[in-house]
Amino acid sequence: MAVLGFLMAFDKEFPATSVPFHERMGLHSLTQGKGFVMRKFVLAAVVLVLMAGGAQAVTLNVVGGQLHGAFGVDVGGTLYDVAFLDGTCIALFNGCDAVSDFTFQSSALAASASQALLDQVFFDGVLGNFDSLPSLSNGCEGLSECYFFTPYAFVPSSVVLVRIAVNSQSGSDSILSGSTGSSNDFTAFALSTYAIWTPIPEPSAALLLALGLTGISRAGRRRNRS
C-alpha cells in the first residue's frame, strides 16, 4: 500500500499532458515530451525493482559442504537471513534475559519461522542433500534428525521458550513447542542447534527514498521559478 501511495503521488506531481498540434514543433512540446517519457521510464523502473525484490529466491549459505544457514528466507512476507550456530542462548542472544533479545517474539511467529526452514531451506539439491541428510547442517551430527531452535520468550528461572523445526531423514518433518535452559550449551548436543534470525531491509526502500527526494527538489525549483 505504501508503494501504491508513492506511485499515485508521483503521478500527480508529474502528470501526463497532451500537446496541441500547433505546439508539437516548438521547444515547449519537446520539453513536455521528454518529461512524459522520463515519467513513464521512472515508474517502470520502480515497478521492475519491486518485482525483482518480491521474486528474490533463498540463497543457501554452504561452506565446505555444510549448511550454515540461508539468505532471504521469507517469513510472513518479510525476508530474513538465518544462521545455524551452537552455543548458549546467553552468548548468542544478547544475554537471553528479555523478549527484546529475540527476532520473533511470539510462539506463532517463531513457528512460522521454523516452518520456513522446512519449506525453503532444507531441501536436496546440487549444493547438498540437506533434507535427507540432516547431519550436513552446521551444529548437527545426528544421522536421522536434527532440531533447530528458534527462541521467542524468556521466563523466570532462566528458561527460554522455543519453537523447534525438526528436519528428519525419514521425511516426517515437524514443528515442536519446547523450552531449554538459557545456559545450556548446544555444542554438547549433537542433535540440536540454534537458528539465529536477522531481518533484511527491502531492496526498494533506497530507490523510493531517492525518487521522493528528487520529486521534492523538482517541485521546489518549479515554485521558485513561478
The 10s digit of each residue's pLDDT in 175-214 is: 999 999 999 999 989 999 999 999 998 765 555 566 666 6
Tell me the β-bridge partners of 80. 73, 199
Look at residue 85 and tell me whether its pLDDT is greater than 80. Answer: yes
Q: How confident is the model at residue 171 (pLDDT cuts 50, 70, 90)?
A: confident
195 phi/psi in degrees, rounded to 5: -100, 115
> Kind and range of the H or E element at 137?
none
Q: How confident is the model at residue 50 (pLDDT cuts 50, 70, 90)?
A: very low
> Is there a domain that residue 166 lies in?
yes
> Is there a domain that residue 36 lies in?
yes
Same domain, 82 and 39: no
Nearest to 122 by CA among 69, 192, 197: 69
Same domain, 47 and 74: no
What are 115's three cell numbers? 516452518
> Is there a domain that residue 223 lies in?
no
Same domain, 105 and 188: yes
Same domain, 2 and 105: no
What are 171's three cell numbers? 521425511
Instruction: Choose the weakest-confidence range: 153-157, 160-164, 173-177, 183-187.
Output: 153-157
Same domain, 99 and 19: no
Tell me, what amino acid is at 91?
A
Same domain, 95 and 40: no
> Is there a domain that residue 82 lies in?
yes
**Total length of the chain:** 226
Average pLDDT over residues 115-123: 97
Q: Which domain holds residue 22?
A: 1-55
Specify the residue for cell string 518549479.
Answer: 222
Judging by DSSP bridges, how do beta strands 145-155 and 192-199 pair with one another? parallel
Bigger pLDDT: 32 or 125?
A: 125
Look at residue 45 and tell me whether its pLDDT is greater than 90. Answer: no
Instruction: Choose the weakest-confidence range: 96-100, 142-146, 222-226.
Output: 222-226
Range with top average pLDDT, 31-35, 42-46, 167-171? 167-171
**The total number of structural domains that make up the chain:** 2
14 phi/psi in degrees, rounded to 5: -125, 70
